[in-house]
Chains A and B, each alone.
Chain A
Amino acid sequence: MRARVWGCRGSVAVPGADTVKYGGNTSCVEVRLSSGHALVLDAGTGMRPLGVVMQDDLPVELHILLTHLHLDHLQGLGFFRPLYSAALDIHIWGPMSPVQHLSERIAMYLSPPLFPVRLEDVPSHLTFHDAPEEPVTIGSATIRAAKVTHQGPTVGYRIEEEGRVLVYLPDHEPSLGTDLLTLPAAWISGHDIARGADVLLHDAQYRDHEYGAHVGWGHSSIAATMEFARKADVDTVILFHHDPYHTDIELEELLAEAQGKWPGMEDRVRLAYEGMMIVLDSEVKV
């Protein structure tokens, strides 16, 4: 499988000179499977440029895997050109609710007055699914979701294809109310789906000195991210969901802080950036 990052900013899009290196678009990752199927992880503003490219090369089947419905993970959906292609079947997966169907919750955004087009009026054929907590097969991949600690119903996704594992946990605060250093792995939010991943895209919103003022906001400190990844025996960690107030320079300071927690393995800790390619074939290239 091959993944490309189209947006890795958290909370709100931040275009500008200070964010041009790592990018200002919010969460969106494209995953292409060897079977020709396409997955799109979250529908942040990075989905708009993805749609421009994808409309000329539509996949056989498209699956949009939403971790949750906060606006920074949904705002790009209405600007995703393949949504307006009548020939395309699009499957949208997201966290379930006992009170409201996924389509109704998404339609709260894709309807006036917030958006001019109603979700029910888009030309593509949409099918909605609850995020799969039991493994499901999509093309050549097996996908599994798990609920994780964030604000409101939120899941992470584990994607396996031909022995390689990509895990996507963009909004996650596994250290909330606990100490990851001493907590048994079975009790750590997200550990089960992250275990043994070749590549983990994980929330890294706060530097350690910033986290104290943001406990309970649903995001991780660098210390928590790196300890989570260590306990999950992850090979490569990609720091994701960059704080909108972090400039490119500050992100590189954050990276150094993270790499300092994995001495001797610094090359296995990376910062996500728009355009980043992740190849998981016979070997893994980031």
Chain B
Amino acid sequence: MSDPLGTPGSPKSLPLILARELASNLATPMFLLDAGGMLVFYNDAAAILLGRSFAELGEIPSGEFGEALQLATPDGEPVRRRDSPAGVAFFERRPAHETLLATAYDGVRRQYEATAYPLIGAAGEMHGVVAVFWEGAPGERNG
């Protein structure tokens, strides 16, 4: 189901623009959600983990992105969108960290350490979420 919020290609706020510029210059995998819950960017380091570049994927609702990744706990329990670090940062406006399993677009399921925090502006307004991933235990291929 697609997220009704967020408009692909719509003008981005300065905190989001600066976060993207930071992400673009880092070797740490980093994702950005906008204030409407759209996945609006991930960097090349994240693309390596995901098996697909952001240019190929484009902006998509974060819910759709989460479903594609099949997020789960290290025990294999599915993780609801709002319980993932990005979901907590988005819905509860606080930082969060979890160890997660996720399946990349190339079919490889890997364990990640994921940290997310909200981008909250000077007036308390929400600009989006930054999510940073580190690969954890060695990956295994599905099936």
Chain A residues within 8 Å of B, Cβ to Cβ: 95-98, 130, 146-149, 153, 176-178, 184, 186-189, 191-192
Contacts and interface: CB of A to CB of B under 8 A. Distances in A.
B1 interface: no
* Residue of B9, B18, B122, B124 with most partner-chain A CB within 10 A: B122
Nearest to B18: A149
Interface string B92-128: 0000000000000000000000000000001110000
A249 B20 CA distance: 39
Interface of B: 9-15, 17-18, 20-22, 24-25, 41, 122-124
B14 A146 contact: yes
Contacts of A189: 14, 17
A146 B15 CA distance: 11
Contact of B123 (A98, A177, A186, A191): A98
Interface of A is mostly: loop
A178 B24 contact: yes
A271 B19 CA distance: 33
A98 B25 contact: no
B107 to A, nearest CB: 29
A98 B10 CA distance: 26
A189 B15 CA distance: 10
A209 B120 CA distance: 37
B25 A177 contact: yes
Contacts of B25: 177
Residue in A149, A177, A184 with the greatest tally of chain B CB atoms within 10 Å: A177
27 contacts: A95-B122, A96-B123, A97-B122, A98-B122, A98-B123, A98-B124, A130-B123, A146-B14, A148-B14, A149-B14, A149-B17, A149-B18, A153-B122, A176-B21, A177-B21, A177-B22, A177-B24, A177-B25, A178-B21, A186-B9, A186-B12, A187-B12, A187-B17, A188-B17, A189-B14, A191-B11, A192-B11
A1 B58 CA distance: 41
Contacts, number: 38
Contacts of A176: 21
Contacts of B15: 147
Contacts of A147: 13-15
Contacts of B14: 146-149, 189
A184 B54 CA distance: 13
A96 B124 CA distance: 11
A149 B22 CA distance: 13
Contacts of A148: 14
A93 to B, nearest CB: 14
Contacts of B22: 177
Given A146-B14, A147-B14, A177-B25, A187 B122 contact: no
A104 to B, nearest CB: 14
A95 B122 CA distance: 9
Nearest to A154: B14
Nearest to A174: B17
Contacts of A146: 14
Given A147-B15, A189-B14, 11 more contacts: A98-B124, A149-B14, A149-B17, A177-B25, A184-B9, A186-B9, A186-B12, A187-B17, A188-B17, A189-B17, A191-B11
A130 B124 CA distance: 13
Contacts of B21: 176-178
B10 A186 contact: yes
A69 to B, nearest CB: 14
B10 to A, nearest CB: 6
Contacts of A98: 122-124
